[in-house]
Amino acid sequence: MKIFRADDSPFKPADLQSFVGGARTKLLASDDTHVNVHVYHVQFPDGARTNWHTHSGPQWLLVTEGSIRVQCEGQRHEDVETGDAVMIPPGQKHWHGAVPGTRGVHLAINVKVKTDWLEPVSDADYRGQ
């Protein structure tokens, strides 16, 4: 058994090369010895979102507070709420962040994942226009 204490990993400003709008992240837990799983706690204030990106493995988003907007390339955005979960399959280009006008928090569980960060999400795409 391994316990990951919340205080052992403080929140940090999200990487400006990968996020827009003042998101904060922390690596909550990881295991690189068996399955290669990383669990991130991500806080999105109003207007904050990731850039477009892909993962080499599945990514699970578990919404723990507020509302999160998720969009896969070529699809309409979806808004998910506290208690909802999203699974993004390997290789699917997507982004996620706070629903405009709200704040959102999620846990991101990345399984066997390498992330390729791409271009920023336009304001029009973020607003769903």
Give the model confidence (pLDDT) of 14-61 as tens digits: 999 999 999 999 998 988 777 788 999 999 999 999 999 999 999 999
**Beta pairing class for 19-20 and 59-72:** unpaired
Asked if 8 and 72 count as a contact pair (C-beta separation under 8 A), the reply is no
Q: What are phi and psi of 51, to 5 degrees?
A: -75, 170
Q: What is the dihedral of CA 122, 13, 31, 106, to 10 degrees?
A: -60
Let me know: does 110 contact 42? Beta carbons within 8 Å: no
pTM of the model: 0.92
DSSP state, residue 14:
P
pLDDT tens digits, one per residue of 69-80: 999 999 999 999
Q: Where are the domains of the chain?
A: 15-117
CATH of domain 15-117: 2.60.120.10
Burial level of 3, CB count in 10 A (0-12/13-18/19+)? exposed
Is the CB of residue 81 less than 8 Å from the CB of residue 27?
no
